A = this chain, B = another copy of it.
Amino acid sequence: MTHSPAVTLLGYLAATLTTLSFFPQAIKILRTGDTTAISLRMYLLLSIGIACWGLYGFIIQDGPVMVANAITLVPALVVLQRKISHMLHNRHARRIQQG
C-alpha cells in the first residue's frame, strides 16, 4: 500500500524514535551500573517480543521490520543481561552474608 510522502515520513519518524529510544537506557545502565529500578519482566518480554518481530520481518521479507528490530534487540539485551547479572550477584552476596 502506498501512502503520501508525509505519511510515510511519519512512519519512518515513529520507527526511528522508538528504535533509538532504547539506547539511552542501555548507555545509562552501562555507565552507572544501577539496574535497581529496572523491571526484569519488562526486558524479558520485550527481548522475546523483539526477537519475534525480527523473525516475523524475516519470514515476510519486510526489510524495515527486520532491521529496526535487529537494532532494538541490542540495547534490550544489554539491559536484560545487566539486570540478570546484578540479580545473581545480589543473591550470591546475600547468601554469603547469611553464612
A residues near B, CB below 8 A?
Answer: 1, 3, 7, 10-11, 13-25, 27-29, 32, 34-39, 41-46, 48-50, 52-53, 55-56, 59-60
- Closest partner residue, chain B, to A24 (CB atom): B41
Name the contact of A36 in the complex, choosing from B7, B17, B36, B44 (C-beta under 8 A).
Answer: B36
- Please report the C-alpha to C-alpha distance between residue A66 and residue B25 in the assembled complex, in whole angstroms: 25
* Chain B residues closer than 8 Å to A60, beta-carbon distance: 1, 3, 7, 11
- Please report the C-alpha to C-alpha distance between residue A50 and residue B59 in the assembled complex, in whole angstroms: 25
Residue contact A14 to B59, C-beta cutoff 8 Å: no
- Please report the C-alpha to C-alpha distance between residue A61 and residue B99 in the assembled complex, in whole angstroms: 61
- Closest partner residue, chain B, to A32 (CB atom): B37
